Structure 1
Amino acid sequence: MKRFAAVTLAALMLLTVFASAASAADTLEIRGPVFNGSNIDDIVGDGITIDATQFAAFYYDIDDNVTTETLSIKNVAGNNGNVIGEGGIVYSTKIQKVDYEYDKPSLGWDNYSLLGFFAEKYIPLKSNSADKLAKLVMDSDDKVTLKTGDTLDLGEGYSLQARQVDVDGDKVWLEFDKDGEHVDDEIVNVGEGDSTWDVELDDIQDEDDVTVMKVHVNQVFQGAVDSVAQIEGIWLIDYANAIKIESDDEFGELNDVSINGDTLNITNEDTFTLTRDSTNELAEGLSFKVADTPSNVLRFYLAKDITEPGSYEIRGSVASGPATWDASNFAGFYYDLDDNVQTENLSVSKLNGNVIGEGGLVYQTSVKKVDYEYNKPSLGWDQYPVIGFFAEEYIPLKSNSADKLAKLIMDSDDKVTLKTGDTLDLGDGYSLQARQVDVDGDKVWLEFDKDGEHVDDEIVNVGEGDSTWDVELDDIQDEDDVTVMKVHVNQVFQGAVDSVAQIEGIWLIDYANAIKIESDDEFGELNDVSIQGNTLKISNEDTFTLTRDSDQDIAEGMSFKIADTPSSELRYYPFVTKTVGNVTDNNTSSSIPKPVDNVTDNVTNVTTTPDTTDDVNASDDTDETPTTTTPETNKSDDENKENSPGFGVVLGLVGLVGVVYLVRRNN
């Protein structure tokens, strides 16, 4: 019996270790439209198709109005209840042409072939065939200056070095490297031709003459100290990791591959079950997220989870005139799948050309009720009020009023174990500490802190009542008895070494930064505020111009992106920017939606090395190995610990040591 208890405790400790490690991950979910009905036949009807105008993860080029990807659910014989039949899911993508960012058709920079592939940007090695692909690393028209010895980090291990710059001869000697190894080099004569270096390589997935990089040198000139080359226009693919797609390949649950020239279709050979209250992985980072509903209701959406650090643009559906967005067509807005709750909408009316008239840009949001993640109505964990506020989740301090709000920090039903002295980091400076654990008395003494300072404490008796500690504070934006945190203690028990308390259910708001919204407040371009009980409405008192080929701030991190179109056309969408992980200058990503820092941070990462070379014309040694000193990006210890509770791994190791001791003693 003791050996069984030891093994059980070991499993618990290992789960704690793994849960702690997982909690450090930072993930951004991009969702598609929500489908809601009694069963799959009711939802699908004659068939449904999701494209880039509905799903912000799929590739979309607003300037060229180009999409390539769709995901369809077909009406097939095997559809039944929450099961999609064989061949009922079809992912399709087709090669399209898009303009280079450096758009100079007269210089050979007109357009290139592109294929969205499971929400990533890929370039076909042959412009009319979808079977051989390489990720797009860079497409930039930013101006970059390099002097002799400078190295430009292009991302993914690729770099460009200015070996020598010759102002008198209007020349620059460039070298292209991969992982510090020479790939190719060229002397570009700015005074002749189009000043573009097309790097073509052979044997890329058995293809020859593949253009893997294009570089346009704008000019060379004499700087204050050095001769400098100015680059304007870089395009690069990850040829070293090019892939070949074949008919017998499998992509998650999609395993029937068909390649027809420029089009790729992949379907499911087996049935696919939309399991309720779960995330059902489909293929290559795509999944269906299904609500926790009764068997007579089915609700789900397509999602892509992004974990690679970076800043990402989450967009709404594309408009060409007056439009309205809510959570169903703008993935940035707050949405609760289980309760089917949304609160926000944005509308554009009074549109004359590209100018929105006074009062024509309206943002509105209302307080709604949603279930706690730890949903135990009998224990006081039933529902709480929530309000989306400019694409962030807020909690009203008064359940029927939208004027005083605090951000929601945590709503979790994860199980967490704490022993005496352990501190659980809750985020944003808040923490929960187990001061003492009394197994004999079924009690745990908990302390709630903010920025290391005591806020409140309580002895929770697990043997009596609902074992929930409601932390209520006064004078939060002049409101008293505000519930700022709820903690449910599931049990206390004797671990291998220490007495341990198990918490299941934590809910927390950022009361220290609560805000009060008043009628004379201004939010960017929205400055006419109206508060009617649980509804907040804000509109523009002045005209708002949708300037073409630009991003126009609306308010509080929300903006419009407007296409570069003729004056007779208008195309735009709303978006917000979300950040994943600890972003540094070297962190880049090719995930779709396009990371905001994908190009700019790369092209400005220039490493300068001492100038030890002579004039371009003075050397023919093109095999010389360059000196490259691209700096590495290292996270500090504090950054590595930022998202970790801090106690799980230690507790797990201590528990395992205790288990070994118990087993050996019993033997």
Structure 2
Amino acid sequence: MRALAILLALLAVISLSFAADDLASRSTLSPLVDGTVTWTPRDYSGFYYDIDNNLGSETLELNISGRQVEPGKARYVSAAQEKRFMHREWGSYSSIGFLGHSYLAGYGEDCAISGRWDALEGGLLIPVLMDDDSRRTVSSQEEIVLQEGYRIRFSDADEGLEASLFQGDRLVDSARLKAPGDYVYRTNPWPEGRGEDNVSLIAVHVDGYVRLQPASYCTVRGIFQISQNGRRVEKGQVYGLMTLASAGGGGLEMSNRQPQDLAGDVQLMNGTAIKTTSHRDADAVGHIYLQAAGINATVVRGQVQTAGDGETLFWTPHNFAGFFYDLDRSLGSEQLEMTITGSRLEEPGGITYTTTAQERDFQFQEWGRYYTMGFLGQGYFAGYSDESAMGGSRSPPVLWERSEDVNTLVDEQLLRVLMDSNEQRQVRSGEVLDLEEGYQARIEVDKDCKKAFLTLTRDGNLTDQDYLDLPGTYTYQKDLGDTRGLVILAIHLSEASCSPQKTALVDGIFQISDQPQDVSVDRVYGLMRIRSVWSEGVSMDNKDASLVLHRNMDVELMPGIHLRAADQEAQSGDPIRLYIYSPI
């Protein structure tokens, strides 16, 4: 099997793509080379997007030159869009996304609960608190709880019914209406009291009413409420490195006033940062993400795509942050492919998944390299690399040399990497190192400070004992299924000291799990089954699991990876919008 590892090192063509980090809202990856890079809500979940109604227009454009963005070359725009009320009889209102949040920008001509009003033109964005069309029946003794302390009650009147609106304990409005009919509360939305004083803040549609004893009942179907705490937007406001250039005319626009270097992490605007690789080279790849302080997402969403007949859709670490990803090392090769036939994903090839192994350095670099592979969004160990087989002049790496079998993929299994560290730690003779999965290593230094004796236990039971010359590497081998004599633990001791007390310097630890992940052929993961396994990778397909794409579908394809389709209105020839996601 060692020969297979050499063949792997010689012949593997490693796919250099990029996968997900641990951030919930990360955009598609784009090369940070001279030119223009653009992100929209479809490929950056940090921007507002309503997939069901295809609403969301926030766009960030960077014009890059020499990994610099000159003044005015970072441009953010967002345009207002018409959005239908959930209670369709009310028509629509103007909606706009700003820094990842949705706001009401005004009421249009076709709005049944308000006259025309342009909030954005007046420099105000208003959060929508409720937009609901669910049906509920309440008695005249009950109240409907709204937002921001409001509540409403409907009671008998001489003709029809009376609506009483309270905020806290204070009655703020009352009106009589007949069912079916609308109750609308209008007030001044400006916190300082200026501007319009007749803006619809709350609307409730009463569908029916019956007068009984001792209580009457009404059926409510339709509630809309906007906040009284609007957000002021005015030219010249600063958001991080961006300055608001215009607010009105149906949209918002910001740009940068100062030049900006794109090395490392750059806080571009509130909640959004640019992250790039830590090294400056031609392969550097940058991506944009929602800053951790602003994340409240429940899923990691991939790029939104449209599923037309005959089209093939792809998700890779470039456009789905749920796949395994190491940005600085450019590691991660998972790919999910969907081929649309009519409105179906036929079996067995309508959905395919592939992933391949890639070389990476140990943190303790004297050990050389090993193979890592993403699988279902997690990073795994797939084998040890023999650097000498790659044309180098060095002696074979110690972990490769001491393993009987060095490639776990040929035995159809993967192992989690538990520890990979080059952190230096001074250990007193007799001190115990805590490892993972219940392992502990007790290190003792001999009287001449030239050797060390290690005692390895697991859950308190003796597992192994060995000594080594210093500097040197202790290794522990174990049989894991069909993989024989694999090094699952390595500890490097660089030196020892006998003055003033015996100590040893630990500067390298590598540990992999002894609980293998089964990737044998025909093993089923959700709707997918493993089609093939070879020394360099794994592939899966949807054998015996055809899928019909339909509106509002949400299905788990594989553990931790779901497919979601929009609940969009059926229109002839309008392809369905969908994306994959991972729950957080």
2: distance between equivalents of 1:479 and 1:328? 33
Which of 542, 564, 573 does residue 568 from structure 1 map onto?
A: 573
2: distance between equivalents of 1:509 and 1:220? 68
1:83, distance to aligned residue in structure 2 (A): 1.9
2:47 alignment partner in structure 1: 58
Change beyond 3 A, Cα 1:521–1:261 = same
CA contact (8 A) 2:240 2:267 kept: yes
Give yes or no for the alignment of 1:558 onto 2:567: no
2:15 alignment partner in structure 1: none
Aligned amino acid, residue 28 of structure 1: L
2:354 alignment partner in structure 1: 365
2:470 alignment partner in structure 1: 464
Correspondences of 1:624-643 after superposition (within 5 Å): none
1: distance between equivalents of 2:28 and 2:143? 47
Give yes or no for the alignment of 1:314 onto 2:318: no
Secondary structure of the corresponding residue to residue 292 of structure 1: coil
1: distance between equivalents of 2:506 and 2:209? 65
1: distance between equivalents of 2:373 and 2:119? 49
CA RMSD of aligned residues (A): 4.9
1:93 alignment partner in structure 2: 78
Give yes or no for the alignment of 1:193 onto 2:180: yes
> What TM-score, normalized by structure 2, do the two folds share?
0.71
1:105 alignment partner in structure 2: 88
Gaps of 5+ in 2: 1-20, 107-117, 384-406
Give yes or no for the alignment of 1:284 onto 2:270: yes
Gaps of 5+ in 1: 1-25, 580-667
1:404 alignment partner in structure 2: 413
Which of 17, 32, 44 does residue 27 from structure 2 map onto?
A: 32
CA contact (8 A) 1:443 1:459 kept: no
1:317, distance to aligned residue in structure 2 (A): 3.0
Task: Report which of the two structures shows the higher radius of gyration computed on alpha carbons.
Answer: 2
Aligned amino acid, residue 26 of structure 2: R
Give yes or no for the alignment of 1:132 onto 2:120: no
1:263, distance to aligned residue in structure 2 (A): 1.9
2:285 alignment partner in structure 1: 299
CA contact (8 A) 2:364 2:508 kept: no
Higher helix share: 1
The superposition leaves residues 14-39 of structure 1 with CA deviations (integer Å, 9 ceiling, x where unpaired) of xxxxxxxxxxxx963422232336xx
1:315, distance to aligned residue in structure 2 (A): 2.7
2: distance between equivalents of 1:483 and 1:221? 77
Give yes or no for the alignment of 1:535 onto 2:538: yes
2:339 alignment partner in structure 1: 349
1:311, distance to aligned residue in structure 2 (A): 1.4
1: distance between equivalents of 2:48 and 2:464? 51
1: distance between equivalents of 2:513 and 2:149? 44
Give yes or no for the alignment of 1:117 onto 2:120: no
Question: Across the two proteins, how many residue pairs are aligned to each other?
Answer: 514
CA contact (8 A) 2:408 2:483 kept: no
1:48 alignment partner in structure 2: 37
Change beyond 3 A, Cα 1:335–1:528 = closer
Change beyond 3 A, Cα 1:436–1:535 = closer
Secondary structure of the corresponding residue to residue 536 of structure 1: strand
Correspondences of 1:97-246 after superposition (within 5 Å): 97-100=82-85, 102=86, 104-106=87-89, 108=90, 110-124=91-105, 126-129=118-121, 131-142=123-134, 158=148, 161=151, 177=167, 184=172, 192-195=179-182, 197-198=184-185, 200-204=187-191, 206-208=194-196, 209-216=198-205, 232-240=221-229, 242-246=230-234
Give yes or no for the alignment of 1:387 onto 2:374: yes
Change beyond 3 A, Cα 1:137–1:35 = same
1:136, distance to aligned residue in structure 2 (A): 4.0
Aligned amino acid, residue 253 of structure 1: L
2: distance between equivalents of 1:98 and 1:267? 27
Deviates more, 1:251-260 or 1:202-211: 202-211
Change beyond 3 A, Cα 1:187–1:36 = same
1:361, distance to aligned residue in structure 2 (A): 1.9
Aligned amino acid, residue 253 of structure 2: N
Secondary structure of the corresponding residue to residue 91 of structure 1: strand
Change beyond 3 A, Cα 1:562–1:203 = closer
1:199, distance to aligned residue in structure 2 (A): 6.1
2: distance between equivalents of 1:561 and 1:487? 49
CA contact (8 A) 1:259 1:265 kept: yes
1:521, distance to aligned residue in structure 2 (A): 3.2
1:362, distance to aligned residue in structure 2 (A): 2.1
Aligned amino acid, residue 552 of structure 2: D
1: distance between equivalents of 2:468 and 2:216? 75
Change beyond 3 A, Cα 1:284–1:499 = farther
Give yes or no for the alignment of 1:72 onto 2:61: yes
1:269, distance to aligned residue in structure 2 (A): 1.2
Change beyond 3 A, Cα 1:238–1:365 = farther
The superposition leaves residues 43-79 of structure 1 with CA deviations (integer Å, 9 ceiling, x where unpaired) of x1xx33221232232222223323311111126xxx3
Secondary structure of the corresponding residue to residue 537 of structure 1: strand
CA contact (8 A) 2:202 2:226 kept: yes
Deviates more, 1:338-347 or 1:301-310: 301-310
CA contact (8 A) 2:470 2:494 kept: no
1:196, distance to aligned residue in structure 2 (A): 5.1
Percentage of matched positions with identical amino acids: 18
Give yes or no for the alignment of 1:257 onto 2:275: no
Change beyond 3 A, Cα 1:491–1:402 = same
The superposition leaves residues 448-507 of structure 1 with CA deviations (integer Å, 9 ceiling, x where unpaired) of 87xxx45888999999336x77665444x55444555667789999xxxx9999987776
1: distance between equivalents of 2:514 and 2:312? 35
CA contact (8 A) 1:367 1:402 kept: no
Aligned amino acid, residue 404 of structure 1: Q
The superposition leaves residues 620-641 of structure 1 with CA deviations (integer Å, 9 ceiling, x where unpaired) of xxxxxxxxxxxxxxxxxxxxxx
Aligned amino acid, residue 464 of structure 1: L
Secondary structure of the corresponding residue to residue 375 of structure 1: coil
Aligned amino acid, residue 49 of structure 1: T
Change beyond 3 A, Cα 1:531–1:433 = closer
1:212, distance to aligned residue in structure 2 (A): 4.1
1:525, distance to aligned residue in structure 2 (A): 3.2
1: distance between equivalents of 2:219 and 2:420? 51
CA contact (8 A) 2:185 2:202 kept: yes
The superposition leaves residues 339-379 of structure 1 with CA deviations (integer Å, 9 ceiling, x where unpaired) of 32332222222511x2233334222222322536x73322x
Aligned amino acid, residue 403 of structure 1: E
The superposition leaves residues 187-237 of structure 1 with CA deviations (integer Å, 9 ceiling, x where unpaired) of 786x613345556444336444444444455667999x9988765544444
Aligned amino acid, residue 88 of structure 2: P
The superposition leaves residues 565-605 of structure 1 with CA deviations (integer Å, 9 ceiling, x where unpaired) of 324322222221332xxxxxxxxxxxxxxxxxxxxxxxxxx
Aligned amino acid, residue 539 of structure 1: N
1: distance between equivalents of 2:74 and 2:161? 55
1:333 alignment partner in structure 2: 323
Aligned amino acid, residue 363 of structure 1: T
Which of 60, 69, 72 does residue 84 from structure 1 map onto?
A: 69
Aligned amino acid, residue 329 of structure 2: D
Change beyond 3 A, Cα 1:361–1:168 = farther
Change beyond 3 A, Cα 1:173–1:213 = closer
CA contact (8 A) 1:290 1:299 kept: yes
1: distance between equivalents of 2:25 and 2:382? 26
CA contact (8 A) 1:367 1:401 kept: no
